[in-house]
């Protein structure tokens, strides 16, 4: 899952980004509407966490721009305005959900995950390849019935590989889907995470690597 946080309060934006990354979510951040619009043109996002009162381009206008696209990006409007009229007008602009400040961070995470599941992309609830199963909703994975204890990044990499199966994902594609725009394209973090994931999956190996192509799960 990849999320764009659009928040002009720098301290709050930092808290949101670090907290979501700790949950294994790839997060980019923009501090005004113009920066957000530029990033939306460059990258694909599952969910945009959008502050309503933004400089550059107001959050209301940005919300309409996002929902007017045909890529299915979901919008969670995050704002200090909490009257019934504010909520109605925010949802009327096309926002998919509305959360008032202050908020409980665990609730924000649950709402983001719920929006990502609702995104209009046909995906099975339980992902399978070979003898590996993964349930994104329950945050559970297993191999041949054996539960796997995975870190958030390992879980996210396994999710991406299972969704791509039986196709390949390159290291660059995994960086884009699981990390964020600040990930160093020359880093070995993908290879290191794949190596840890392979050890936890056990034998016989189920993740294959083809040089210059990428990684695949369940392939011959």
CATH code for the structural domain at 2-118? 3.40.50.2300
The pLDDT assigned to 219 comes to: 57
Q: With a threshold of 0.75, does the pTM exceed it?
A: no
d(CA 146, CA 123): 24
Contacts of residue 85, Cβ cutoff 8 Å, sequence gap at least 6? none
d(CA 132, CA 218): 8
Please state, rounded to an integer, the average pLDDT across all residues of the chain: 87
Q: Does the pLDDT value for residue 122 go beyond 50?
A: no
pLDDT digits (tens, 9 = 90+) for 36-90: 999 998 888 999 999 988 999 999 899 988 888 777 899 999 887 665 566 666 5
Find the mean pLDDT for residues 169-194. 84
Find the mean pLDDT for residues 177-199. 84
The pLDDT assigned to 124 comes to: 57
The pLDDT assigned to 88 comes to: 64
pLDDT digits (tens, 9 = 90+) for 132-180: 999 887 889 999 999 999 999 999 999 999 988 889 999 988 988 888 7
Whether 215 and 194 have beta carbons less than 8 Å apart is answered as yes
The pLDDT assigned to 123 comes to: 54
The pLDDT assigned to 90 comes to: 57
| Helix, strand, coil abundance in the chain, percent, nearest 5 | 40, 20, 40
What does DSSP assign to residue 7?
-
The arrangement of secondary structure in 127-217, i.e. its CATH architecture, is: Orthogonal Bundle (1.10)
pLDDT digits (tens, 9 = 90+) for 3-17: 999 999 999 999 999
Domain ranges of the chain: 2-118, 127-217
The pLDDT assigned to 119 comes to: 80
The pLDDT assigned to 101 comes to: 85
């Amino acid at each position: 899952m990849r999320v764009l946080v659009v928040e002009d309060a720098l301290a709050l934006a930092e808290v949101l980004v670090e907290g979501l990354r700790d949950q294994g979510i790839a997060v980019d951040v923009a501090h005004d509407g113009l920066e957000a619009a530029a990033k939306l043109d460059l990258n694909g996002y599952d969910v945009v966490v959008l502050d309503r009162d933004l400089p550059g381009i107001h959050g209301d206008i940005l919300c309409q721009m996002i929902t007017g696209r045909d890529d299915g990006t979901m919008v969670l409007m995050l704002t200090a305005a909490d009257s019934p009229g504010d909520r109605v007008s925010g949802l009327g602009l096309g926002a998919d959900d509305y959360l008032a400040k202050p908020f409980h961070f665990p609730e924000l995470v649950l709402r983001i995950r719920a929006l990502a599941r609702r995104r209009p992309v046909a995906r099975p609830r339980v992902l399978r390849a070979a003898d590996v199963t993964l349930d994104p909703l329950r945050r559970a994975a297993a191999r041949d019935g054996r539960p796997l204890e995975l870190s958030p990044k390992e879980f996210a990499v396994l999710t991406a590989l299972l969704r791509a199966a039986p196709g390949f994902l390159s290291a660059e594609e995994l960086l884009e889907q699981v990390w964020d725009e600040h990930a160093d394209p020359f880093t070995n973090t993908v290879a290191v995470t794949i190596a840890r994931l392979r050890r936890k999956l056990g034998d016989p190996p189920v993740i294959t690597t083809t040089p210059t192509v990428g990684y695949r799960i369940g392939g011959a």
